[in-house]
Structure 1
Amino acid sequence: MQLSHIGIFVQDFDRMIEFYRNTLGFVVTDIERSAERHIAFLTTDPKIHHQLVLVKGRAADVTSRAFVNQISFAVDDLPALRSAYAKLVKSEAKELDPITHGTTWSVYFRDPEDNRAEVYCDTPWYITQPHRASIDLTKPEDVLYAETEAHVRGQPGFKFRKQFDAEVEQLLCRG
């Protein structure tokens, strides 16, 4: 089982569509603008109709924490994360927080309507969670890799991700 999509209520429908299109590269696959509702389906994957659904109707006095803790978007690798970070820096995103969990490199941020979101990619390591340490995504990729590896090797539970994945697979097989 995997998470397939998330839907969020928004106040400014068009602004939020443009934010996710221009900043994270989503495209609109379907949209309805009617008297009954405004709903948009967005994706970054041609094989998945929608990963994000935006629905107009969020009250102005309701905070994002009342609906969703965070929206997380996975990218393939560190160069893709650094590219997303550069776009976020130039966008309406707020509270950018680049970190490593040891298992991932991540950047957390708030979108224009204060929804908490994350763009991340996996690292080749596993460490006991929760864990967070600040990183500088403007550093060269080889430096980030070396600094992260040096950091995680000293953390509880350190192992390579492939070993951790095999252990989880064994647990799942035992049911």
Structure 2
Amino acid sequence: MPQSIPGPPANLSFSHVGFYVHDLPKMEEFYTRVLGFFATDRGIARGAPIVFLSRDPKEHHQIILAEGRTGGPEARVVNQVALRAGSLQDLRDMLAILENEAEVSQIDPINHGNAWSLYFRDPEGNRIEVFVDSPWYVEQPLIEPLDLSQSDDEIHDRTRSAYGGSPTFRPAEEWRAEFGEKLRAAGLPV
């Protein structure tokens, strides 16, 4: 009789991401100075220097940087790392910082309807997203340029006018409640 294979643990959630890097000191300096992370530990792991970074006292590390990246900048091993910000003003402030970083590339503010995002490539070409949740849900993927020179009200109005006609457009809290019910129905903790 075949053995039953259990499903994944019910309480899995995102914890951290690790990047292999070419130049560890340069990348640590970028993530601490530009994105405000703090080094929590550093050392040697499997023969390579490694540094642990966090911005949350409940998380020892949210990002790991480890020497050992091979290949050029076109060799992508991670699609993106997303960092949640608190407000549209945070995105504007981040944009101002990034525009003064010579080694940052492909700065791309995007309105997804359910979030307002600022994408960019770090000095080694890793794609980073800094985003703010919008108060709405709308089916993804949606991509529209985001003009961060607009006021918060103008961005809200633009989002409503761009996506409000979609049959899936609704308050994010409604979507979260519905998704929570799906998780509960599947026997997962919410």
Give your verdict on TM over 0.5.
yes
Structure 2 counterpart of 1:138: 149
1:52–1:64 CA distance, 2 compared to 1 (3 A): farther
Asked if the contact 1:64–1:115 (Cα under 8 Å) also holds between the matched residues in 2, the reply is no
Cα distance in structure 1, aligned partners of 2:73 and 2:143: 29
Query: For 1:38-53, what aligned pairs fall within 5 Å after superposition?
Result: 38-53=49-64
Provide the C-alpha distance between the structure 1 equivalents of 2:40 and 2:57, rounded to a whole number of angstroms.
Answer: 9
Identity %: 40
Offset at residue 35 of structure 1 (A): 9.5
| Most deviating of 162-171 and 34-43 | 34-43
Counterpart for residue 9 of structure 2: none
Q: Partners in 2 of 1:123 and 1:53 — Cα distance?
A: 29
* Bigger Rg over Cα: 2
Of the three residues 101, 109, 120, the one matched with 1:98 is: 109
Report how many residues are paired: 174
Q: Distance in 2 between matches of 1:105 and 1:144?
A: 9
Equivalent residues in 2 for 1:50-129 (5 A)?
50-61=61-72, 63-65=74-76, 67-91=77-101, 92-129=103-140
Amino acid at match of 2:86: D
Aligned match of 2:26: 15
Give 3-state SS (helix, strand or coil) of 2:56's partner. coil
Taking a change above 3 Å as real, the CA distance of residues 47 and 64 of structure 1, as seen in their structure-2 partners, is farther
Cα distance change of structure 1 residues 113 and 140 upon mapping to structure 2, 3 Å threshold? same
Question: Deviation at 1:93?
Answer: 1.4
3-state SS, counterpart of residue 25 of structure 1 = coil
Classify 1:62/1:19 alpha carbon distance in 2 versus 1 (closer, same or farther; 3 Å): closer
Whether contact under 8 Å (1:11, 1:60) holds in the other structure is: no
Classify the secondary structure of the residue corresponding to 1:113.
coil
State the distance in 2 between where 1:21 and 1:59 align.
Answer: 23
- Counterparts of 1:148-159 in structure 2, within 5 Å, are 148-159=159-170
Q: Which amino acid aligns with 1:37?
A: A
- After superposition, give the CA deviation of every residue in 1:121-151 in whole Å (9 maximum; x if it has no partner): 1000011111111011122222222222222
1:80-107 deviations in Å (ceiling 9; x for gaps): 2222222112122100110011100001
Provide the C-alpha distance between the structure 2 equivalents of 1:56 and 1:146, rounded to a whole number of angstroms.
Answer: 45
C-alpha RMSD of the superposition? 1.7
Partner SS state of residue 34, structure 2: helix
Gaps of 5+ in 1: none
User: Which one has a larger percent helix, Structure 1 or Structure 2?
Assistant: 1
**CA distance in structure 2 between the aligned counterparts of 1:60 and 1:138, rounded to whole angstroms:** 37
User: 2 CA distance for matches of 1:83 and 1:19?
Assistant: 16
Residues 34 and 50 (structure 1 numbering): CA distance in 2 closer, same or farther, change over 3 Å?
Answer: closer
User: For 1:24, what is the secondary structure of its paired residue?
Assistant: coil
Q: TM-score, normalised by structure 2?
A: 0.85
